[in-house]
Amino acid sequence: MPENHSVILTSILDNDFYKFTMQQGVIRLFPNAKVRYQFINRGKHSFPAEFHVALRRAIDDMAVLKLSAAEKRFLKNTCPYLDSVYLDFLEGYRYQPSEVKIEQDGDQIQVSIEGLWYRTILWEVPIMSLISELFYTLKGAAHSSDEAMTELTRNKIESYHKLGVTIAEFGTRRRFSYANHRLVLNALEKYGKGTFIGTSNVHLAMLHHTRPIGTHAHEWFMFHAAKYGFKMANAMGLEHWVQVYRGDLGIALSDTYTTDVFFRQFDKMFSKLFDGVRHDSGDPLLFTDKVIAHYQKMGIDARSKTIIFSDALNYEKVERIAHYCHNKIGISFGIGTNLTNDAGPEPMNMVIKMTETQPQHEDWTEVIKLSDEQGKHTGTERMIHLAKTILKID
């Protein structure tokens, strides 16, 4: 491994927006909660020798990142629901690399994170982006030229414009590289007027004068299941989100314990208060039918609500969903890997997920996710079986 190396991440805001919105909620409601996260190599990728050394160095470099005065102003002006106390906290926040453990056994790596939830919540996305970028760099993967990437992104966003849909960029965690991510955002900003509506990456939202997009992730509900039980996880998660944001950031994630279970607790109050729901697993058309049926049952015009689709999207999938939803319900799309890692090499298939939590000086409790797609379940078989039994899921 060369002694001279370049720092890959240069901004503390180079992260998904929902990590910061959840962090504010955790600080306010669960400041003593501890968590553990684990890297899952879904694609069975083979890592080059000494990969763990390069990753360790890149993570250690993150210790110097801090919120700049300009970044703080951007958040204050753009995100009024992030209060001054939280912004002052973020200004003083520093990554602690000791919270991250990395090992390598042959061509496989193990990455684990442990610590207070309000501190460790920011690690997941940047570590995944580092794993992805270093993987391609150390493998010497050939990739498209800057001009080709720009033209490809231009063609994509212009196709979405003709389709009449709005697109947000959600691709930080599995991007080909930071430089490639910038190219994509430059093209989206230049050619996507009226179609490109923002990015989940807060740093790039600031650089490209657009808005950061996101609300909460599965871990918000996974923690609530550990603290309040599987039956109360969705209701308490939503209740606490409302307590913190009072109607802002109103897109609810529905598939932590399957959409069917979610809608049992998404009552009329939540259905009216939240602007809509996000689809992240399972058949998008079947999901659409369930959402519309739920709003009809609540006496709500589905056309006043929105579904954000964000599950492994490409043009063909977006086109099919858009035609199906036309005049039925509001829609928008969050596209990730297909925008930020369509550079030639096959995109990586990996996740980092919360595996355990210690809610409040209690015992460590395993957490799981039961998405609408069996292959996206995470957690031990024992706990998955227990959750399915309690929630009466076949």
pLDDT digits (tens, 9 = 90+) for 309-353: 999 999 999 999 999 999 999 999 999 999 999 999 999 999 999
Extended beta strands in 321-390, E state: 330-335, 351-358, 365-366
Half-sphere exposure in the Cβ direction for 362 (13 Å, CA):
15
> Once rounded to an integer, what is the mean pLDDT over residues 96-107?
98
Residue type, 42: R
Structure confidence by residue, pLDDT tens digits, 207-218 = 999 999 999 999
Measure Cα distances from 332 to 198, 221, 291 in Å.
Answer: 11, 23, 15
Domains of the chain (ranges, CATH numbers): 17-142+348-389 (3.20.140.10), 146-340 (3.20.140.10)
CA 175 to chain centre: 13
In the prediction, which pLDDT does 373 show?
87
Q: How many CB atoms lie within 10 A of CB 124?
A: 22
pLDDT at 5: 65
pLDDT band at residue 376 under the 50/70/90 scheme: confident
CB-based contact 280:371 (threshold 8 Å): yes
pLDDT of residue 202: 98
Using a pLDDT cut of 70, give the percent of the chain over it: 99
Of the listed ranges 96-110, 202-216, 372-386, the one predicted with least confidence:
372-386
Which pLDDT tens digit goes with each residue over 222-278?
Answer: 999 999 999 999 999 999 999 999 999 999 999 999 999 999 999 999 999 999 999
Whether residue 6 is predicted with pLDDT greater than 80 in this model: the reply is no
On the question of pLDDT at 360 being above 90, the answer is no
Q: How much is the pLDDT for 2?
A: 45
For residue 374, name the pLDDT band (cuts at 50, 70, 90): confident
Cα distance between residue 289 and residue 308, in whole Å: 14
219 and 22 Cβ atoms separated by less than 8 Å:
yes
Are 185 and 204 a contacting pair, CB within 8 Å?
A: yes
Q: How much is the average pLDDT of 85-97?
A: 98
